[in-house]
Amino acid sequence: MTQTVQPRGTTSGLTDAELAAVRADFPLLDRTLRDGRRLVYLDSGATSQKPDVVLDAERDFYTQRNAAVHRGAHQLAEEATDAFEGARDQVARFVGVASDEIVWTSNATAAINLVAYAMSNATAGRGGAAARRFVLGPGDEIVVTEAEHHANLVPWQELAARTGATLRWLGLHDDGRIRTDDLATVVGERTRLLAFSHASNVTGAITPVAELVARAREVGALTVLDACQSVPHLPVDLTALGVDFAAFSGHKMLGPTGVGALYGRRELLEALPPVMTGGSMVEVVTMESTTFAAPPQKFEAGTQMVAQAVGMGVAASYLQELGMPAVAAHEHVLAQALLDAVASVPHVRVLGPTEAVDRLATVAFVVDGVHAHDVGQVLDDAGVAVRVGHHCAQPLHRRFGITATARASASVYTTLDEVEVFREALSGVRAFFGLTTDGGDGR
């Protein structure tokens, strides 16, 4: 049987005992690395670790109720279908939407591409009059921000190329926050779609969603939210946020890889033409034509990632039972601790807001005189796992005149003691390469 998680946190965060109980749920956190060093995992922005309840849920599905969903008339098929749709219910509750507004996808990138290619299909005449609001052409504009992950930029570049629309973007302030003061000039009457992230995967800056949604509504534009970085770390109610579409992935929210979700307002999903076609997403098929199933099945062609969806549902419930206000409060403390750690080391600069206000515990930084990949290697020698590179956000890095950063990103299972290990390791990076604290070359 799948385990359940008892509520642990409060709106003030997690106590030491509660945090210890959380960490006990994640077997990989006990890893000992080379030279006997304990793992300090600060790469949760790339992918999160998985609690036992998620691992058990996937194994339970395969060992107890593995069958094709929505097809068989036998008991296993019924149980598999119930588990699959039950997971959809869990994810929908977690983000504050109706179950039929959640479409399973392979990841968040696939979810965003689903919307982009569906709009291409609408432009090509598929979907009829109901899909007219998704049609794009020359003179129409798509607006993104300079902070976007490539997954929320490249699909819109391609959509513009396919339809003749123009891509525009909102720039960034020097602290990495979006220039919302340019909304009135960049998002105008020609804007048909505004796509933006809820929180940057590089700077950690949280977007003022209400401000962007309000402007989009003023001009009648659709909104697409990349919620990958917010859903695991903040209380997120997509209905209350008022966005039209949102994408997020399972593996960043303590769930399995290979599964994600697209949220779409029901009336929009009903009007949006499908992209992938074939089995499971149809009602009537003749040799001449096909009628499609209602959403969300209309967008779920073929055999789905059932066990992974079950795991994602359990991950959503795990976080919900912890209490997202408690998770956010705990990670707010971690954000300030990470910022303080970086600030305490000479010649290390943060890319993004330097105070833990409207930002996540995701901190990208540059060590003067040392390439980000070398920084990551030195930290790894101390058992500290961080991400290095451009983090699939080359335009953002280019905006600040750099090609790469190192990034430390926390999650609900991260401790202040781990942040201190990170600080100590970071303080030795320049010395490792023979650079002095005053910026000189000590070799």
Scan for tokens 């504050």, then name that residue: 96
Strand partners, 105: 260
* Distance (Å, whole) CA 156 – CA 77: 39
Q: Check: CB of residue 244 under 8 Å from CB of residue 196.
A: no
Q: Check: CB of residue 216 under 8 Å from CB of residue 222.
A: yes
Q: Say which of 55, 276, 392, 416 is annotated catalytic.
A: 392
* Distance (Å, whole) CA 196 – CA 147: 8
Length of the chain: 443
* Distance (Å, whole) CA 84 – CA 423: 43
Q: Is 392 a catalytic residue?
A: yes
Beta strands in 227-322 (DSSP E): 245-249, 260-264, 282-285, 290-292
Residue whose C-alpha is closest to residue 35's, from 388, 415, 384: 384
What's the sign of the alpha-carbon dihedral 106, 112, 117, 123? positive
The 10 Å Cβ neighbour count of residue 288 is: 5
Residue 225, helix vs strand vs coil = strand
Residue whose C-alpha is closest to residue 45's, from 414, 417, 422, 416: 414
Q: Check: CB of residue 295 under 8 Å from CB of residue 72.
A: no
Helix (H) or strand (E) holding 226: strand 222-226
Q: Check: CB of residue 208 under 8 Å from CB of residue 217.
A: no
Helix (H) or strand (E) holding 372: helix 372-381
* Distance (Å, whole) CA 238 – CA 323: 17
Q: Which residues are catalytic, by number?
A: 392
